[in-house]
């Protein structure tokens, strides 16, 4: 069966997450339903990462197996037609080897978290950013973020229901950028690692927000990390504002 890699973009607000569920809408379910319109049978697709309810993606990667050969462009166009009106788009599609796997072949995942500081409620970007009503210190947040870079036991920063076999992960990047807008100050958290624990990024951002607000210091972040105790984590921030921004592979399947 020919295998195709899909570059997927979606607004996570109306979904209960990526993973297919029996009684709630999911991104996986929407794409599989569209595939059934093209080849009437049960379809199962695999993705590089399972995003939670309300989490968005600009660079999710999945793969699907088809019964016949499709021109990749025509496959993406057909899927986008049948995905309407869901806020899901197949941005690119490529034929890959039969053994290629969206999850297991990935060497890096990149996330972006967007936080905005403003008193007024959000209108056009409601559900796309986490809003706080106080200014934050970007330099202080970066100082706290630097304490998390490298190989660590991240027990403090993972969900109690995380299914990963080990809490030990290597965090390659956690960069805080401040962007001034006329309608507020946006803080962007750029995060890179081979793999992540459940709720790890949201736990990082919620903790660093406390540093930016002056309630925590960088030393408090170190103490929380070294505690290896979920109770030592700062508040976990909400899912809006979190984006799966990209996935890296030894060879980019979409390069051609």
What architecture (CATH level 2) is domain 108-245? Answer: 2-Layer Sandwich (3.30)
39-86 per-position pLDDT tens digit:
999 999 999 999 999 999 999 999 999 999 999 999 999 999 999 999
> DSSP secondary structure string, 57-82?
EEEEEEEEE-SS---HHHHHHHHHHH
pLDDT of residue 161: 87
CATH code 3.30.70.580 for 3-105: yes
Query: pLDDT under 70 in the chain at which residues?
Result: none
Estimate the crossing angle of helix 200-212 against helix 218-227, to 10 degrees: 150
pLDDT of residue 59: 98
pLDDT of residue 163: 86
Domain boundaries, the chain: 3-105, 108-245
pLDDT of residue 160: 87
- Which residues form the catalytic set? 52
Contact 6, 43 (CB under 8 A): no
| Residues ≥6 apart with Cβ < 8 Å to 229 | 155, 156
Same topology between domain 3-105 and domain 108-245: yes
pLDDT of residue 3: 98
> DSSP secondary structure string, 79-146?
HHHHHTTSSEEEEEEEEE-TT--TTTT--EEEEEEEEEE-SSPPSTTTTTSEEESS---HHHHHHHHH
Q: In the chain, what are the helix, strand and coil shares in percent, each to the nearest 5? A: 25, 30, 45
Predicted structure pTM score: 0.95
């Amino acid at each position: 069966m020919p295998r195709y890699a899909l570059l997927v973009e979606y607004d996570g607000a109306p979904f209960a997450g990526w993973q297919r569920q029996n009684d709630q809408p999911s991104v996986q379910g929407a794409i599989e339903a569209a595939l059934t319109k093209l080849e009437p049978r049960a379809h199962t697709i695999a993705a590089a990462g399972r995003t939670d309810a309300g989490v968005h993606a600009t660079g999710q990667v999945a793969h699907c197996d088809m019964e016949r050969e499709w021109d990749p462009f025509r496959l993406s166009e057909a899927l986008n037609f049948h995905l309407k009106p869901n806020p899901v788009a197949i941005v690119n599609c490529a034929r890959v080897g039969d053994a290629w796997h969206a999850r297991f072949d990935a060497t890096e995942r990149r996330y972006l978290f967007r936080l905005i500081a403003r008193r007024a409620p959000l209108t056009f970007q409601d559900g796309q950013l986490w809003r706080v009503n106080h200014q934050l210190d970007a330099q202080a947040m970066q100082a706290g973020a630097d304490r998390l870079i490298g190989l660590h036991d991240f027990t403090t920063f993972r969900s109690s229901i995380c299914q990963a076999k080990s809490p030990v992960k290597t965090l390659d990047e956690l960069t805080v950028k401040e962007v001034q807008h006329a309608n507020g100050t946006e803080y962007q958290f750029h995060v890179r690692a081979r793999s992540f624990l459940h709720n790890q990024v949201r736990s990082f951002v919620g903790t660093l927000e406390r540093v930016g607000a002056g309630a925590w210091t960088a030393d408090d972040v170190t103490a929380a990390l070294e505690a290896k105790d979920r109770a030592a984590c700062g508040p976990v921030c909400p899912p809006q504002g979190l984006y799966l921004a990209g996935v890296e592979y030894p060879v980019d399947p979409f390069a051609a």
